[in-house]
Amino acid sequence: MKNGEIHPEDNVSMVKQFVLLGFSDLPNLQGFLSGIFSIVYTIILIGNSLIIILTMVDPVLKKPMYFFLANFSTLEICYVSVTLPRILVSMWTLDRTISLLECAIQLGFFLILGATECLLLAVMSYDRYVAICHPLHYPLVMNPKKCVQLAAGAWVSGMPIQIGQTCQIFSLNFCHSNHIDHFFCDMPPIIKLACGDTSMHELSVYVVIMLFAVVPFVLILASYSKIISTVLRLPTAQGRGKAFSTCSSHLLVVVLFYGSASITYFRPKSSHSAGIDRLLSLFYTIVTPMFNPLIYSLRNKEVIAALRKLLHRV
């Protein structure tokens, strides 16, 4: 369906399934793209699984920072598994149809895990804030029980609202077309297919985004403003370098994830195009999870040392 106003009086079709157009406009590149996506998925699974294993077997990594990193790696595996296997199956079988229920389930998990990622990034920034700004209180504040509570809160807090939002979106009537101009079931392209006035649904989407994306991002900025202020007051350059190195990886991941996601969801409607939306979505759903293990391992001496010890055992 092209951009245009849909009137309630138009003929409404009872949509039973959608067609994910995905990369069907690139028929000559299907084999190449499926190969690339297969390699990327393998890298994501191996890289994030390796971080989880390292945090479990190495005593040096039995710290709150690495506990949250293991949670984050688990989340990244789940997050990318919501979309990428479905893309690969569509490319291999050339069957791009997805039932209404499957589409709703995919969107629901995508929204829940997206909210979890925003909240977990905020929790990780709070951990770095306490470690750098209040080092003497760090063992007391970030005790094992508190870490489990913070991680569990990040995982479950978004579930009720995101399930509700998914149900709200799929309660809409869809007319004329069941073609989703995207490679997975995402909110903007689905709402485009709805009949009538969808302004209230779009408003609710923005409210939820503000709650689960903007608020955590503001907390992250507040944490890092305190961290930077504290680090700059350290007396030695070596101390400042060490402090910055412990949180630079996390900050880079925040910039990559929030940068691409915010451009996707907060751009004016007039500037939306299917090609740009797909490219940006690829970035924060697939490319960022692929680079996260590299960012955290290559910029962290303790992770590198743990990896060397594990390889020597093997």
pLDDT of 12: 46
pLDDT of 193: 87
Query: pLDDT tens per residue, the chain (314 residues)?
Result: 333 343 444 444 567 789 998 887 777 888 888 999 999 999 999 999 999 999 999 998 999 999 999 999 999 999 999 999 999 998 888 888 999 999 999 999 999 999 999 999 999 999 999 998 998 999 999 999 999 999 999 999 999 999 999 999 998 888 768 888 888 998 888 888 888 778 888 888 888 888 888 899 999 999 989 988 888 887 777 667 766 776 777 777 888 787 767 666 666 555 556 667 777 778 778 888 888 887 777 667 888 888 888 888 76
| Residues counted in the chain | 314
Domain at 17-312, CATH class: mainly alpha
pLDDT of 67: 95
Domain boundaries along the sequence of the chain: 17-312
Biggest distance spanned by C-alpha atoms of the chain = 72
CB 201 within 8 A of CB 191: yes
Note the pTM of the prediction, 2 decimals. 0.87
CA angle 11/169/269 to nearest 5° reads 85
pLDDT of 84: 93
User: Side-chain half-sphere of 66: how many Cα atoms within 13 Å?
Assistant: 21
> DSSP alpha helices (H): ranges in 170-214?
187-192, 199-209
pLDDT of 6: 37
